[in-house]
Chains A and B, each alone.
Chain A
Amino acid sequence: MSPRGGATATAVCAVALALTGCSGIQSSTDPHGPVAGAIYGLFIVFMIVAAIVQGGVTIALLLGALRRRRLDARSVLELDPASERRATLVVSALVGLTAATIAGLTLLSFFVGRTDARLAGSQELVVRVTAHQWWWEFTFEDPAPDRQLTTANELHIPVGRPVRLKLLSPDVIHSFWVPALSGKKDLIPGRLNEILVQADKAGVFRGQCAEYCGLQHANMALKIVAEPPAQFDRWFAAQLTPAAEPRGAQATRGREVFLSSGCALCHRIRGTSAAAVFGPDLTHLASRSMLAAGAAPMTPGGLGGWIADPQTVKPGSKMPRVPLSGPELVALVAYLEELK
């Protein structure tokens, strides 16, 4: 057979292989929640149908083209009524088959689409997600005002419990997407959307803003940390506490720098006088694993680099460069490092 048919066949196999082989913390082929799992199952069904159709079409085409090929011709064929009739039958049957297949796929899609509706229940945790150019803000909704925890870019959830995310945006359209858990949903100014996520296994799942939202759309990642309920409760309690007092002179100096250099104009650190909410809440900054929605790692170096020059690390970010001396920067980093 021609290399083309071979290529296509290999390609189809390659998909199947790659799918089982590839995983990663941001892959839809490595589901860790019921919604993503159901969708992955649906995907496999579609893949099988697609492979059959692609294979069938390719083989029929190449057979048809090669079986009576000619290199040159001037004459036009006389039609043979019998084979025309046979072909009409075959084509009609294939069209019927196509209709049946897509009807089936449509129904299947409809039911898989209702997976999250089956999850919904009173056990839900409700988190408000506000997307900003270009970072995420999470607020746990709770009747008690002092339990309304606000954090940024990294969300912890308990395993096995549905979490209802209320999606809002004050600026442009973003899209919330953590492939390992579920599909995506847009955050649209002036509208309230919801999405239900649930993790079946503990793990760290990366996600990323999926709707183009301007300059730093590429650096608008988030992480969901799914952990056993007890561990989640511990995390939640810890996050509710105000920021730790600085230990040592360096860190204390760092806090002064923070409060006097303008950082407090935009950021909040509970337990200090910094209470602004323009930028991410930094109360427990050091408990997170990445900075500025994935633009830098949460390491002393990453932190220093980010504060020294956010516009180089993440050009266009809404955080300006604040002029600081070397020692000030070192102190500031030492302080922020302690905000576990």
Chain B
Amino acid sequence: MTRRLQPDRRTLDPAAFSRALASGLARLRVKAAGPTTGPGFWALLAAALGLAAFGGLAARALWAARAGRVERREEWRRLSLSKEPDDGGPGDAALALALGRTWARRPGLIGALSTVDHKVIGLRLVLIAFSFLLLGGCAALVMRLQLAGPSQNIVGADFYNQLFTMHGTTMMFLFAVPVMEAAAVLLVPLVVGARAIAFPRLVAFAQWMLVAGGVLLWGGFALNLGADVGWFSYVPLASLNYSPTKRADLWAQTVTFTELSALAISVSTIVTIFKQRAPGMSLDRVPLFAWAQLVTSFMTVFAMPGVMLASTYLILDRLVGTQFFNPAAGGDALLWQHLFWWFGHPEVYIIFVPATGFVSAIVPVFARRPMFGHTAIVLSLVSIAILAFGLWVHHMFATGLPRLGESFFTASSMAIAIPSGIQIFCWIATIWLGRPVFRTPFLFVLGFIILFVMGGLTGVMVASVPLDLQVHDTYFVVAHFHYVLIGGAVFPLLAAVYYWFPKVTGRMLSERIGRWHFWTAFIGFNVAFFPMHLLGLQGMTRRIYTYPAELGWGPLNLLSSCGAFLFAGSFALMAWNVVVSLRSGEQAGPNPWDADGLEWATSSPPPPYNFLWPPVVQGREPLWASAGRPPAVTGHRTDMREVLITSIADAVPETREPSPDESIWPFVAAVVTTILLTGSIFTPWAVVWGAPPVAVALIAWFWPKGDKEDEQ
């Protein structure tokens, strides 16, 4: 049996081809014994295989049928026309067949729980995150109902406090960060031209931890144990004395789950970008989207331990009586704030920086020219990440820290305006020098630039200590962060949805509904959140469930609530667009936007192994340079999953490492970890009796299962 199929695309080796076919047939028979697929399918398959012996065309058809997708038009075209010497031919067919088998996803429930395909997991993460957006958004709408008029009694104080805590926690920990991670999982391997993500089982584990965190938080809410101490859960309010129920514990453990998940994905992202880039993709050719995800992952690595530590301290204080936050025993309330904001500030850039990555991917494609200032943008991203760790105190100006120290944090916070400005200027320059094509992703990018600058400018205002002392903890800050979070991150996210939807599903989203979506979102958003600036200046503090009429906040609040519903309606338009387009959207083909990135060099949706021919990169815009067909990597084994490891700086191939197969153990490990962590809310002994099952699951996860590499 062959180990290494070396289908050189120019000179096909007939012997290798027939060997590949033989091995393929042998394996198919083994599979056919399985109960999941009917004999009809296998008869068809056998017939098709017979045809394949006569030529590549039939084999191609077979592959398309096997994958259940006929819309791989591009492959069809290549196959039937076979214009270029390195295109099509029976070599491709055999390769697709062999790879398809090796990288096949296992069917059924166990298969779904075991999958390590980054595209499947990434798409799931996107859907999970959007579900949490829906939940958090509904909580916001109820809040907006309550606040629409003075002294209303739609919800009570207790419920309102749960609502804003659930809203903030959900949006930050279960929507915004995960959705950006989802984009990394889904797209980074494609963007760097890899066949798989690094540590795919870790990513599978991460997906389940996120689900566990969300279920814990919202399950608690359903049982009237919804967290109610705000998304940053200040002590001593969150300590046992003032929050005697389990609500604060559920919050803390939710945070632990989501952070575990984020850290796992960051490690995978970093290593994928460092070590699995396509040959030739030297650092100066790494796409800005990947840079943004790389920088974000680094921020995650250094930021998340802060909140893990803080929430651990909180749980210990509440559960076993440690005294970290008890001033009477030498503890301190501000220790919490320092640890939390050490994480919390980078957190907001962890949300924002990937969004800038979307923008930098989209702008050049629609401006029809390479990005202006590529290197400047990379440097901006890196400096944002470094500065991000030097300004957490700007959330604590009102706590009465030494004045000179505070001024330092004013300066460092405002300094972020420089790298942010560089990015804005470079995008505008790219658009200015280009010939922009107005499609929906581009509209959302334009909206983003306007809204983010607005939010950034209010950010600069609140970075000024005296100004912040007036507007801190008011709706002015609420306006600031919704402008940067929604304008600065959700708008690019929506642009990204329109931009990459064809890649993921094979179909275009409707342009007509897209325009409606954009305009309702843009108008609804501004109507909802612009008045909040004014309310904050007029003294409306945040986190209040009611306010008296004589303060005159009623009309603006009513306006804001109307805008919120309009904005929510825009999401309904998007959902409608998704549903309609999935069924009857225009076929996308591999590269509908004529984009420059490697993810467009494969079919839409990509096969499980991402690239039939992993691409080789010769410039910053590989597809523009090579008219859509970059040179390829040959010589991978086809009978086991392999990824190409390349050097960090120049992306010179180093090794071909095996990539892990599907495994149920990450799921099992996630289940037992969930039981352990949830149990530890109630008794510290849960850690003791929970440890052995976790250890067993981890050992099973990492234990090699007679892989082919061991048969040598």
Chain A residues near B (Cβ < 8 Å): 4, 7-8, 11, 14-15, 18-19, 22, 24-29, 36, 38-39, 42-43, 46, 49-50, 53-54, 57-58, 60-77, 79-80, 83-84, 87-88, 90-91, 94-95, 98-99, 102, 105-106, 109-110, 112-115, 133, 167, 171-173, 175, 177, 179, 182-186, 188-191, 193-194, 206, 208-219, 294, 315-316
Find out whether the CB atom of A15 lies under 8 angstroms from the CB atom of B533. yes
Interface code B531-570, partner A: CB below 8 Å = 1, 0 otherwise? 0011001110111111110011000000000000000000
Asked whether any CB of chain A lies closer than 8 Å to the CB of B526, the reply is yes
Which of B242, B368, B541 touches A171 (beta carbons < 8 Å)? B242
Q: Contact residue range for chain B?
A: 35 or more
A-chain residues with CB within 8 Å of residue B429 when the two chains form the complex: 64, 87, 90-91
Lowest 3 CB-CB distances: which A-B pairs, in order? Answer: A190-B327, A183-B469, A64-B432
B-chain residues with CB within 8 Å of residue A215 when the two chains form the complex: 157-158, 161
Which A residue's beta carbon lies closest to that of B331? Answer: A190
Find out whether the CB atom of B436 lies under 8 angstroms from the CB atom of A69. yes
A-chain residues with CB within 8 Å of residue B457 when the two chains form the complex: 49-50, 53-54
Q: A109-B467, A210-B473 are in contact. Are A179 and B398 (CB under 8 A)?
A: no
Measured CA separation A172–B331 after assembly (Å): 14
Chain A: minimal CB distance from B363 (Å): 10
Measured CA separation A43–B537 after assembly (Å): 10
Chain B: minimal CB distance from A49 (Å): 8
Interface code B98-114, partner A: CB below 8 Å = 1, 0 otherwise? 00000000000000000
Q: A184-B472, A185-B398 are in contact. Are A58 and B450 (CB under 8 A)?
A: yes
B-chain residues with CB within 8 Å of residue A185 when the two chains form the complex: 398, 400, 469
Find out whether the CB atom of A217 lies under 8 angstroms from the CB atom of B407. no
Find out whether the CB atom of A113 lies under 8 angstroms from the CB atom of B334. no
Measured CA separation A182–B398 after assembly (Å): 12
Find out whether the CB atom of A50 lies under 8 angstroms from the CB atom of B438. no
Which A residue's beta carbon lies closest to that of B544? Answer: A218
A-chain residues with CB within 8 Å of residue B437 when the two chains form the complex: 69-73
Asked whether any CB of chain A lies closer than 8 Å to the CB of B283, the reply is no
Which B residue's beta carbon lies closest to that of A46? Answer: B461
> Which stretch in B414-422, B598-606, B673-681 binds the other chain?
B414-422
Measured CA separation A58–B448 after assembly (Å): 11
Chain A: minimal CB distance from B326 (Å): 8
The B interface, classified by DSSP as helix, strand, loop or mixed, is: helix
Chain A: minimal CB distance from B494 (Å): 16
Asked whether any CB of chain A lies closer than 8 Å to the CB of B349, the reply is no
Chain B: minimal CB distance from A87 (Å): 5
Asked whether any CB of chain A lies closer than 8 Å to the CB of B141, the reply is no
Find out whether the CB atom of A183 lies under 8 angstroms from the CB atom of B369. no
Which of B403, B417, B538, B545 touches A218 (beta carbons < 8 Å)? B545
Find out whether the CB atom of A184 lies under 8 angstroms from the CB atom of B433. no
Q: A29-B537, A76-B368, A294-B548 are in contact. Are A216 and B157 (CB under 8 A)?
A: yes
Measured CA separation A326–B539 after assembly (Å): 39
Can you identify 20 A-B contacts, CB atoms within 8 angstroms? A28-B538, A42-B467, A49-B457, A57-B450, A62-B446, A65-B446, A68-B436, A77-B368, A98-B418, A106-B414, A172-B236, A172-B237, A183-B470, A184-B469, A186-B400, A209-B541, A211-B234, A212-B237, A212-B543, A215-B158
Find out whether the CB atom of B418 lies under 8 angstroms from the CB atom of A99. yes
Chain B residues near A (Cβ < 8 Å): 156-158, 161, 229-230, 234, 236-237, 242, 327-328, 331-334, 368-370, 372-373, 376, 398-400, 403, 406-407, 410-411, 414-415, 417-418, 421-422, 424-426, 428-429, 431-438, 442, 446-447, 449-450, 453-454, 457-458, 460-461, 464-474, 522-523, 526, 530, 533-534, 537-539, 541-548, 551-552, 594, 596, 621, 624
Measured CA separation A109–B414 after assembly (Å): 11
Find out whether the CB atom of A68 lies under 8 angstroms from the CB atom of B450. no
Find out whether the CB atom of B410 lies under 8 angstroms from the CB atom of A184. no
B-chain residues with CB within 8 Å of residue A179 when the two chains form the complex: 470, 539
Measured CA separation A6–B522 after assembly (Å): 13
Find out whether the CB atom of B410 lies under 8 angstroms from the CB atom of A109. yes
Find out whether the CB atom of A98 lies under 8 angstroms from the CB atom of B417. yes
A-chain residues with CB within 8 Å of residue B467 when the two chains form the complex: 39, 42-43, 46, 109
Which of A73, A75, A98, A294 touches B421 (beta carbons < 8 Å)? A98
Chain A: minimal CB distance from B575 (Å): 24
Chain B: minimal CB distance from A92 (Å): 9
Measured CA separation A186–B398 after assembly (Å): 6
Which of A49, A53, A62, A183 touches B398 (beta carbons < 8 Å)? A183
